[in-house]
Chain A
Amino acid sequence: MQTLNVVDTGLRYLQLCLEYYTDGCAYFLLYIAALLFVAVAGTKKEKLVFLPSAALLFLSVYNPVFPIILNQIFDVNKEYYRFFWLAPIIIIIPYVCTRLLMLQETKVKKGIVAVVIFAILCLSGNFIYANGYEQAPNVYKVSDELIEIADIIHEDSEVEFPKALMEYYYNMEMRQYDPSILLTINREDYIYAVSNEYTEEMLEDDTNPQYKLLALLVRYQDISAEDFKRALDMTNTEYMVVSSDNAIIPYFKQAGFRMVANTENHTIFHYELTEPVTFELIDYSGLR
């Protein structure tokens, strides 16, 4: 819920938050329907199991005033939706559906109710594989090409921990597979770059040279080759991995970066650092 803010939306926050959370799914309505079923036709045990907690949830989590009060103590803007996990939807909806099915006396009635329940559940939700099931390409669950790129960088590099600048997806996945490749850009900087332009002031900020790299790589902002190289030097970045169809490739070639290799969809470039700094692990033996 990155875009929702309790202060801005006030009492509407809860409704908006629920809309984002359910995103067209009707399961929350089914939860209320299941509670009503238990309230009207449930046994004493069922009422004790499901209704008291639901009553407290509606007084607190599903009360529009609650997020406003809570936000005074903690910043709940981004994570309020997690309170919706408290509703035992995974128990009560399947339970009530099963009860309804078991209540039917004949097989014909059971069949009809089963079809109706199944149809309601199908129409109420979004199937996880609605757009197809994407099987992992290998046991590591990263692309084969990423593994190939990691191998190419290590073969080419003279250091144990080469540092690289990569496009979004590989930047997020590379260190899960191969942590010996250091990355220039952290996650938050990348997320910022995806949706924000860099201002002149930010680009002149030498304490954050990665802004220049992202401004060119992600935003295609006008960064001179000299400035870009200086940023690579300041961040000790030797390698750049970009998609083969990236419009930045002629720029890299013109800047004199060495093309290390081409994989199926990516091109790896190398920059000769002016003053390379070898990364070493901190020795903690003296502190133990």
Chain B
Amino acid sequence: MLQIITGFLGICANFIIYIAFGSLITVRKKDEKWSLALTIVIGFFLYYSIFFFFCVPMMLRFQTLTSLAYLWLVVIAIIVVLSGLLNGRRWFAKAREIANKLKATPLFYVGFILLCLVQGFLITNAYNFTLDATYYVGNVATSVLTDTMNIYDPYTGMWQDHFEMRYFFATYSMNDAVMCRLSGLKALIQTKTVMTASIIMIIQCIYYLVVQELFGEDKKAQFIMLFLMTFLNFTFITIYTSHNFLLTRTFEGKAVVANLVLVVIAYLYMLLLKEHNGRRIWWYLFIVCFGSTTISSSANMLVPAALTVFMLPLIFIKKDIKILPKYAACILPGLVMTLIYVAYVKGYFVIHTY
């Protein structure tokens, strides 16, 4: 029971943290409009981007997971307090705004919340056997038990003499281990309930932004599209589709890349179509691209590809070559990670654990 309560609090804490992190980027001037959904999405990627800079050096220095956990707790506390001081009033104003929206169009919001809850309930309560969980969840559990990071083999528990670079820079699962250490949650609950529920809700945030962008204020159309998006996720199922990853392997970084990152890039492209010189949108895009490389190594290949597919046409649509360096900056994290991994596979370097 304690694990369930802690897990629920963990989900709530996640969103408070994402809002606090995201507000530092998305909320600026007084009285300027800002989106809570976008703040959550950007906050999620900013959170993992910053975590990366604390986690990787500590892994390289063989620090304990506990040391990282306490250090990271301090960082979170500082950022939440700082963000609260800077944006607290705007958060309250936003809460009032949301309450007014709920009163104005209760059917839409009740329907949307129900849609989120039904998905969350179905996905987090289902039993799924996946081979990849053996590594991802096993790695979190092993790191917590051994109080190390990425050193012991998740499959067998035996010591590894070097870091496996395929997973080394994707520090997403180490964050799960940190959260297990801080909360006392079991790895299975942290990954398959807390993060699964959180990811589903964040994905609903980006869906909400997309339907708003496409249908403006037409709430009826927005809701129909949200419903159909959910329906498609539940019906386009083969073992390879991103939708299957979303419903059965939500806790994996790959599922986040496939179902969140790629949709966020498409959404930001829609914003750039309206305002291609918007510095803030490019910053969002950069944070998403960098953050995604820390979530899954699959992003190293997919994110540059997605950026190419969306941003190269933008250069021609807007007839503005200045888009090119911004696009290059956004694909850089993925390319650098890919080159590092290729160098590792070709045997140019290895990082030993001794």
Contacts and interface: CB of A to CB of B under 8 A. Distances in A.
Q: Do A and B come from one complex?
A: yes
Given A85-B302, A128-B237, A137-B127, A97 B153 contact: no
Contacts of B135: 187
Nearest to B122: A133
Interface string A203-233: 0000000000000000000000000000000
Interface stretch (A46-54, A151-159, A248-256): A46-54
Nearest to A282: B159
B102 interface: no
Given A172-B129, A176-B138, A91 B210 contact: yes
A10 interface: no
Contacts of B159: 282
Given A23-B238, A53-B269, A128-B247, A139 B302 contact: no
A56 B127 contact: no
Given A125-B237, A133-B126, A136-B127, A56 B309 contact: yes
A37 interface: no
B235 A49 contact: no
Nearest to B238: A23
Interface string B173-186: 00000000000001
B225 A98 contact: yes
Contacts of B134: 172-173, 175-176, 187
A93 B145 contact: no
Given A94-B225, A94-B229, A140-B189, A53 B309 contact: yes
B302 A134 contact: no
Interface residues of A, number: 79
Given A122-B235, A128-B244, A88 B266 contact: yes
A107 interface: no
Contacts of B247: 128
Given A141-B192, A187-B134, A182 B157 contact: yes
B34 interface: no
A134 B127 contact: yes
A96 to B, nearest CB: 10
B235 A124 contact: yes
B37 to A, nearest CB: 16
Interface string A84-104: 111011110111011101100
Given A176-B188, A179-B157, A287-B354, A85 B262 contact: yes
Contacts of B133: 172-173, 176
A74 B342 CA distance: 9
B141 interface: yes
A240 interface: no
B153 A56 contact: no
Given A90-B243, A128-B234, A288-B61, A179 B228 contact: no
Interface in A24-65: 24-25, 27, 45, 48-49, 52-53, 55-57, 60-61
Given A91-B210, A176-B138, A52 B157 contact: no
B236 A82 contact: no
B3 interface: yes
A127 B235 contact: yes
Contacts of B205: none
A172 B131 contact: yes
A259 interface: no
Interface string B205-230: 00000100011001011001110110
Provide the main secondary structure of the chain B interface.
Answer: helix
Contact of A94 (B64, B218, B228): B228
Nearest to B63: A288
A198 interface: no
Contact of A91 (B153, B231, B237, B263): B263
A22 interface: yes
A257 interface: no
Most buried by A among B63, B232, B266, B269: B232
Contact of B313 (A52, A84, A141, A284): A52
A101 B236 contact: no
Interface of B: 3-4, 7, 61-64, 122, 125-129, 131, 133-135, 137-138, 141-142, 144-146, 148, 151, 153-159, 186-189, 192-193, 210, 214-215, 218, 220-221, 224-226, 228-229, 231-244, 247-248, 254, 258-259, 262-263, 266, 269-270, 273, 298, 301-302, 305-306, 308-310, 312-314, 316-317, 342, 354
A98 B270 contact: no
A21 B238 contact: yes
Given A60-B309, A282-B151, A20 B188 contact: no
Contact of A89 (B3, B63, B126, B236): B236
7 contacts: A79-B298, A86-B306, A125-B237, A135-B127, A169-B129, A180-B145, A186-B156
A95 B222 CA distance: 9
A192 interface: no
Contacts of B145: 179-180
B224 A101 contact: yes
A94 to B, nearest CB: 4
A82 B188 contact: no
A25 B302 contact: no
Pick the most buried of B235, B239, B314: most chain A CB atoms within 10 A of its CB.
B235
Contact of A173 (B126, B129, B243): B129
A267 B133 CA distance: 25
Nearest to A17: B240
Shortest Cβ-Cβ A-B pairs, 8 listed: A52-B313, A125-B235, A94-B228, A23-B238, A186-B155, A182-B157, A179-B141, A176-B137
B235 A89 contact: no
